[in-house]
Structures are given as structure tokens and as C-alpha cells.
Structure 1
């Protein structure tokens, strides 16, 4: 009988070796089922029409159709599917394009099994995940927050700490304020920027030339 608790995965990469490697890594994970794979991104959408897919793992640099275009098309036709980007590179412009296309996570191909599973677990719960290397690359561009007039200096500090995936309690301890105060700041930040998630906040920062 089918296990309804399984999270169904679909893998897209033009290199069969990468597909085989991911299958081998996830083969014995009882929370996940690989329901499809493809080396041809142009063939993916019709295949998704026939399958129940929860998370799509996709390469970015592929011939004929890039991961950016594929993600954009998948999110347009199947908005419930979460997309996890896999890449050899963590360049800011590429990350921005993938975020704009609608990804929920971004990890590098040199990652280990632990981080891959952590990313999949986060996405399966409706959360986002960006690897440490990707986050560091984005953080290099965080500057001139004071040029955004409606964000206070304290809110800027908290945005940086949120972006690094610190919990409310950890932020409170680091800034010597109460956890309740952090929660209030978070609500104000998301309200002022008109965002509701880390991905939305990053998109806001890009659009306003903060990063």
C-alpha cells in the first residue's frame, strides 16, 4: 500500500552521473521516493503532468533550457511543487535569477548528504533552505541598508541575523533584548518590506539594490 507520508522527488540534470549519484544518496531514505528523473529539461513539464511531485531538484546550467527557465515554467504550471536548485556555482546573479523564478532552496553540488537531507526536510515542511556558501555569497552584498529610509538600524541588524537563519532566541541573546522584542521587530520588517519569507526578503533586497 502506498505510504502517503512519502515526499515525492523528481531529479533534472543533464549529467546522468549526477542523477545516479543523487539516486544512490537517497535510495535508502524512507521519507523520500524518487518518482522520476530526466536529462532533458524540455521533457520535464509533460512528465510532471502525469506524476505527483512534491519537490523538483534541478541543475541550473543545462543545454536547451536553463534551470531558471525550467523553474519559471514549473512554478507557473505547478505552483505547489517546491524547487531545489543544485549548482556547481553560487554566483549572486545566478542565485537572484533562481530566486526570482521561484525556487525554495539552493545548494551546491559539492554538498554532503546531511545538508541535502536538511534542505529536503525544510522544503517538505514548506520552508526555505540556502546552503551556507550561498548565504555567505549573498551576505557579501548586504550593504547600505541605511539608504532604505523606513528601516531602522536595529531592523537592519535583525534582517542580517534573520538571513543567517538565527532563531528569535539567539537573536535576542546576541542583541541583549527580549525574544518578544525580536518578534515585534520581525513583524515590522516583513510588514515594511511587504514580504513574508526569507526568499521574499532577499528579492526585496535585490530589487532595492541593497544586495
Structure 2
């Protein structure tokens, strides 16, 4: 019997997945969480074989949770179930060990197929995700794309300009400058502005 844990910040999604599991033979529902922090706490007290994991959640997002999970429970099978179908999110989750990746609007039959495949110890990716993986194997993983405006903000950060100074130089609001900085932190997986500056210098953007 495969023990399945569900993590999603939407109650209706968790309820629907639980109902699906109860209809399947060979699977048993063992718990649920609405955010990544609660999930990690539960995993210390719960035996789980397969985890269904959303990406965008409060307190701790799915990406950060997955990084911790693969360090502490490397054998745990994790299938991402999300609304994010952009290549950026797919690559990001696969790079930190997602064993499966499904889009929430996929057919019920595909969720069942993914569960059965993962329960056998294999990985499961739908056609569009598999195609992306093959492209990366052939061409190499592409560099993270920064917009022209993000590069302009980054260059000024390297020059040790403050948010207010950058806003004035680029004729932007301070809120917009902060938004660009936050987007770059997420895209480049940096924790601080120092990380952004190091990235800029390493890639000739300074």
C-alpha cells in the first residue's frame, strides 16, 4: 500500500485529491498540509511514500520544501502538481529532484497514471515536460533570461546605487525597482542583493 501525502494551499484541491485516492486500490491517504512549513513538520512524524506537492504556497513554497525534502528524505517520491506550466518552473523543480510534474488542469486519468508510475519507483513526466527535458539534454539548460530593464537595474546595483537612486536614474518608482530586484532574486535563486551582484560580475553584467 503506497502512503500518499497531499500539500496544497487550496482546501478544495486537497479534498478532490483525497477523494481520488480513496477510489484507487493500492493507495492510502495519510495526511495533508496547506503550506511547506507544515509539510516538513508532518514528515518528521509521518511515514510517507509519495508526496503530491504544489509550488505556490504561503510560509514555505514548494521549491524550498522540495530542497529540504530531498536532503532529508531522498527516497521519498515527489510529484509536483501545480498551475505553473512555464518552462522556468518546470526546470527549477526538476533540478532539485522532482520525480514527477503535472499541471492541475490535466485529466484525472493522467494523475492516476502518474501515481501508479511513481508508486513503482519510476519517474513520471507528461509529454510536454519530457520534450523540455530532451531539449535541455541536447542544447544544454538555457541561461536564466533577464529582461532589458532587469539588466539595467542589476548594473546599477553593482554600482552600489540605492533603490531611490536607481528609481531616479531609470525614471521608475521605488516600488517598481523593488519588484525588479525581487523578480531577479527568484529567477537567479539568490537570497540577497549580494548574490545578484556576484551573478552580474560572473556574467559580465557589471
- Superposition TM-score, scaled by structure 2 size: 0.64
Q: Distance in 2 between matches of 1:73 and 1:50?
A: 16
Q: Could you list the runs of 5+ residues in structure 1 that have no partner in the other structure?
A: 1-5, 148-204
User: Could you say which residue in structure 2 is the equivalent of 1:113?
Assistant: 108
Q: 1:106 to 1:19 in 2, by over 3 A?
A: same
Q: Secondary structure at the match of 1:14?
A: coil
For residue 43 of structure 2, the aligned residue among 36, 40, 48 is 48
Does 1:95 find its partner at 2:93?
Answer: no
1:206 correspondence with 2:206: no
Q: Show CA shifts across 1:92-143 (max 9, x none).
A: 111111011111000110112211111111111111111234335x17x828
C-alpha distance in structure 2 between counterparts of 1:12 and 1:143, whole Å: 29
| 2:64 pairs with one of 66, 69, 89 | 69
Name the counterpart of 1:142. Answer: 135
Deviations 1:142-201 (A, max 9, x none): 2894x7xxxxxxxxxxxxxxxxxxxxxxxxxxxxxxxxxxxxxxxxxxxxxxxxxxxxxx
Q: Distance in 2 between matches of 1:131 and 1:16?
A: 25
Cα distance in structure 1, aligned partners of 2:82 and 2:142: 23
DSSP-derived class of the 2:80 partner: strand
Distance 1:23 1:208, change over 3 A: same
Identify which of 29, 39, 50 aligns with 2:24: 29
**Conserved? CA contact 1:8–1:32, under 8 Å:** yes
Output the CA distance in 2 between the equivalents of 1:144 and 1:7: 32
CA contact (8 A) 1:82 1:104 kept: yes
> Counterpart in 1 of 2:197?
none
In our comparison, the structure showing a higher alpha carbon Rg is 2
Question: How far apart in 1 are the matches of 2:64 and 2:101?
Answer: 15
**Matches of 1:21 and 1:14 in 2, distance apart?**
13
1:72 Cα offset (Å):
0.8
* Aligned-partner Cα distance in 2 for 1:65–1:208: 26
Q: Which has the higher contact order (CA 8 A, sep 6+)?
A: 1
The answer for the alignment partner of 2:79 in structure 1 is 84
User: In the alignment, is the contact (CA less than 8 A) between 1:9 and 1:57 conserved in 2?
Assistant: yes
